[in-house]
Structures are given as C-alpha cells and as structure tokens.
Chain A
Amino acid sequence: MTGVTISLTFVVEECPVSTIPRNQWYVAAYGREIGHDLFSRTICGESVLFWRTESGDVTAVSDRCVHRRFPLSQAPSRLVDDQVVCGYHGFTYGADGRCVAVPGQTRIPRTARLTSYPVVEQDSFVWIWIGDPARADSTRIPRAPWLDSPDYTTVSGMEPLQARFGLLVDNLLDLSHETYLHGGYIGTPEVAGTPITTEVDEEAGIVYVSRHMDDAECPPFYSKSTGLSGRITRWQDIEYTPPCLYKLHSRIAPVGVLPNADGTDPDAFHVEVVYAITPETENSTHDFWAVARDFALDDESVSDFLRESNRTVVLQDVAALDVLEQVIATEPEGYQELSINIDTGGLAARRMLAAQLAQSADRTAVAGS
C-alpha cells in the first residue's frame, strides 16, 4: 500500500472578496416566467430552482442536489406533483427543500435539505431574499405599483449583461449618457446640458436624482408614443433604492405645462421606467426593464413601439457595459477615475452600496466566527 490519502470532502476554494451585498431583496424573475415547470436562474452567485406549486405560490430552493450536487433543473430531474426528483440518483425533495426520499434506504439523513429562499411575488416581480432567512422582512421590499396597475399599460423584458452590476448602477444614475449613447432614441442635447439635484436619505435607503428640463427637444421615444411634436417640458426623477430597484419617473408635457397646485397633472404624459438590477455573478447581471405609461393604454402600436425602442436602448447600454467590463477586468490595479458634477448621484449610490456591502460582510464574519 502506498501512502495515498483520499480526501472524502471537497475543499471549498477561497473566493475573492465579493462586491454583492447580501441580506437584501433582489428581483429573481417576472411572475410570468415561473409556472409549474422547473426554472433555474443564478442570483448573486447562487443557483436557484423555482417552480409554482399546485397552490399557485412560487417556491425557491437551491438548484444543487445535496447528494452529488446534480442540478435539479437538469433533465432527467423532474417535478412530480410538488416534489422534485433528482435525475441522477433519485433524491426527492418537497417544495420547502426537505428531502422526503432517498434511494435504497428508509433513513433520510437529517442534513438532507436544500437551502430554501424566502420569496415574495409583488408588482409583477418575484423577489428573493439572498442572505440570512431570519432577517428577511418583506415589508422592506421597494414597490413599483404601476407595473400591475390597471391605470397603466406596461411593456417589459430582461437582457443579460456580461458586466458587474455596479456598472449598470453607474449607468442608470447618470442619464447624461442618453445624449451620447442613446442619441436619436431617448437622448437629446438638453439631457447632458441640464443640471441635476441629488438627495440622499440614508435611513430610508434612497438616492433621488432630479433633472428638470423646461424647454427641450422631444426625442422619438416620446414624440412617437405621445404624439407631441413641439418642444417639451421633460422631467426625469430617479428614485433608486439600492441594491436592486431603480425607478425613473418621467414626465413629458408641452413647454410651460406644469402640474396643478393640488398635485394633479392631467395635461402631462407619465412614464415610469423601472429597472431591477440583479447580480447574476460577480461579473454578470440580470437587467430587468419595464416601461409603464398612463396614456394610450389600449393602443397596441404604442406598446409595440415602446417595447422595441426601450429594448434597443437597453441593448445599447448592454453593448457599452459589456465592453467596459472587459476593460476593467483586464486593466492594471489602481486606475483613477475622474468624477464631475453629472456623477453626484452615482457617487451617492456607490457609497450606499458600499455601506450595504460592509454590513453584509460584518454579519457574515460574525456568523462565521
């Protein structure tokens, strides 16, 4: 016998420091994506298996069998009623992740349990809690009520982004890029040329950036959808609740038309552009986007136009950020960025994300000690 030792366990490799805040709610999917079929998506580096149970609720568990980690979303793994049967050796799990059967023996190991994730279906999204389940408080999930309101019509989609989620946060917090990257779609000279006001409420976890253009060119995105042809008043009010949900309250009206003193605003067009920025891995992101409008509610051609246009705009960002990710991933350490006034909101968002990250790192360190 030679002195060969066989390791019975795999050593978990030390991973580089994460940039993804844990103990946070993230959008995992649109509700419409999940039916009574196995559905898998990687969220914050974790492979998660979803399905809609017979009772209609979405359930989320780890997509790795506890036995030999075969993906439970992978055929011939399958769903039988509300139980998932591993396609490799038949471990069978309930919707709560508990193993209910193993092959060849009656004793089920006590640790045979899939990680189960808190999920909440709200505002057309499926939200998932990534972190310590004991700390999941569903009342803290930010709202986007327009997305399933009868007073609005919404088009939506999701584009995969091969870039870290922070790059999309930077991108969305500074809309001056519309003028350059999205010229001819949503960008006009006034966007980059108009000062912004930034507000931060650290306690509530909100970064708010306003850009109010009093007399601006109307970009095709809005002229074709609203029918306005002349110059417009265009307000962009960003409300970002890090890490995931981003809302752009967009108000379009003829020049000089302002909301009434009582807050009603019957002569303006309102578009709520919502993004959910969900890290897939450290270097890739699920870019959920939705456009809700309070006009032309039943006009299919307006829906088609806004869907196509917004998707085009999102793909312009994706192309740019995919390149930027490669640049950042391959550059030497210590590159110094330069920030100017347009970055005021983006810097506030970065700071809030860094605080969330530090908090989740603390908790992990405490839990692991």
Chain B
Amino acid sequence: MEPTRVLSGRKVLRVVWLPGSDRLQGNCHCGAVHIADDPVEVWTWLLAHPVGHEAPAADPPPPARPEPALATAGAGS
C-alpha cells in the first residue's frame, strides 16, 4: 500500500517511487507531474519547474491534488 500524503503545507513537493518500477514521479504543489529515472533529475525538475508559480498573483494557487501518473514519462521535461 502506497503511503498517503502526510504533510499538509501549501507548498509540499512529493516524490513517489512508482510501485513495481524504478521510476520516480515528482509532484509539484501546483499539480504538475514529472516522471524521472533518478532522484537528481526529479529534484532538479521540481525545483526548476515552478516558473509561473510566483506570478504576481495575490493568492497562492489552490493546492491542487496531483493526478496519479498520467504517463507523462519522457514528455514535458
């Protein structure tokens, strides 16, 4: 059983080691998802990705619940 989300902060980054595979799925707090082959890649993506997060919006974006693994492997990186 995969552990459920634990931390409740507004800006939690989450990396799930996809069961039965060697791949890591990075979930940004904005809802964006990226699947990577190793932890350096997944953190690099998560930390570089949020161009646009800090857009001059008055409020932080609502914490979106990331969809599980919509097979974005290889795309969008």
Task: Give the residues in chain B near A198, CB-CB below 8 Å.
Answer: 14-15
Q: Which A residues are CB-close (under 8 A) to B11?
A: 201-203
Q: For the complex, is B3 an interface residue (Cβ under 8 Å from A)?
A: yes
B35 CB within 8 Å of chain A: no
Residues on A with beta carbons closer than 8 Å to the beta carbon of B1: 212, 214
Known contacts A214-B1, A344-B24, A351-B43; is-contact A199 B13 (Cβ 8 Å): yes
Interchain CA distance A210-B3 in the complex, whole Å: 7
List, in ascending order, chain A residues with CB within 8 A of B38's CB: 339-341
| A200 CB contact (under 8 Å) in B2, B12, B17 | B12
- A237–B24 alpha-carbon span in the complex (Å): 18
B interface, how many residues as a size bin?
Answer: 20 to 34
Of the candidates B9, B16, B39, B40, the one whose C-beta lies within 8 Å of that of A197 is B16
A residues 185-226 touching B (CB-CB < 8 Å): 195-204, 206, 208, 210, 212, 214
Contacts of B19 in A (CB 8 A): 195
State which of A195, A201, A237, A344 has its C-beta within 8 Å of the C-beta of B42. Answer: A344
Q: Are B17 and A347 in contact, with the CB atoms below 8 A?
A: no
CA distance A202 to B13 in the complex (A): 8
For residue B18, CB closer than 8 A to chain A, the reply is: yes
Least CB distance from B43 to A in Å reads 6
Question: How far does the alpha carbon of A200 sit from the alpha carbon of B42 in the complex, in Å?
Answer: 13
Residue B6 is within 8 A (CB to CB) of chain A in the complex: yes
From 272 to 324 in chain A, residues with beta carbon under 8 angstroms from any chain B beta carbon are none
* A259, chain B: closest CB distance, angstroms: 11
Judge whether B67 is part of the interface by a CB distance below 8 angstroms. Answer: no
Q: Which of A208, A214, A235 has the most CB of B within 10 A?
A: A208
Q: Which residue of A lies closest to B18 (CB)?
A: A195
**Interface residue A170 (Cβ < 8 Å from any Cβ of B):** no
Residues on the A chain within 8 Å of B55, using CB: none
B13-57 vs A, CB cutoff 8 Å, 1 = contact: the mask equals: 111111100101000000000000011101100010000000000
Question: Among A199, A204, A237, which residue has its beta carbon within 8 angstroms of that of B14?
Answer: A199
Whether A212 contacts B7 by the Cβ 8 Å rule is no
Given contacts A343-B39, A347-B39, A347-B40, contact A237 B3 (CB under 8 A): yes
Complex Cα distance, B12 from A295, in Å, reads 33
A347 to B3, CA, bound (A): 20
From residue B20, how far is it (CB to closest CB) to chain A in Å? 9
A348 at the B interface (CB under 8 A): yes
- Given contacts A196-B17, A341-B17, A341-B22, are A201 and B7 in contact (CB under 8 A)? yes
Are B9 and A204 in touch, CB under 8 angstroms? yes
In the assembled complex, the Cα of A212 lies from the Cα of B6 at a distance in Å of: 13
Chain B 51-73, CB within 8 Å of chain A: the 1/0 string?
00000000000000000000000
| Contact between chains at A204 and B7 (CB < 8 Å) | yes
A78 CA / B9 CA spacing, docked (Å): 49
Taking the nearest CB of chain B, how far is it from the CB of A157, in angstroms?
29
Contacts of A208 in B (CB 8 A): 6-7
Min distance, Cβ B39 to any Cβ of chain A, angstroms: 4
Residues of B within 8 A of A351 (CB): 43, 47
Residues in B neighbouring A214, C-beta threshold 8 A: 1
The residue that A199 contacts in the complex, of B12, B17, B22, B24, with Cβ under 8 A, is B12
Chain B's closest residue to A344 (CB) is: B39
Residues of chain B within 8 A of A202, CB atoms compared: 11, 13
Contacts of B5 in A (CB 8 A): 199
CB pairs A–B below 8 angstroms (17 shown): A195-B16, A195-B17, A196-B17, A199-B7, A199-B12, A199-B14, A200-B12, A201-B7, A201-B12, A202-B11, A202-B13, A203-B11, A237-B6, A340-B39, A344-B15, A344-B42, A351-B43
Q: A237-B3, A347-B43 are in contact. List 20 more A-B contacts (CB 8 A).
A: A195-B17, A197-B2, A197-B3, A197-B17, A200-B12, A200-B13, A201-B7, A201-B12, A203-B11, A208-B7, A212-B2, A214-B1, A340-B39, A341-B17, A341-B24, A344-B15, A344-B39, A344-B43, A347-B39, A351-B47
| CB-based closest 5 A-B pairs | A195-B17, A210-B3, A201-B9, A344-B39, A198-B15
Q: Which residues of B contact A (CB under 8 A)?
A: 1-3, 5-7, 9-19, 22, 24, 38-40, 42-43, 47
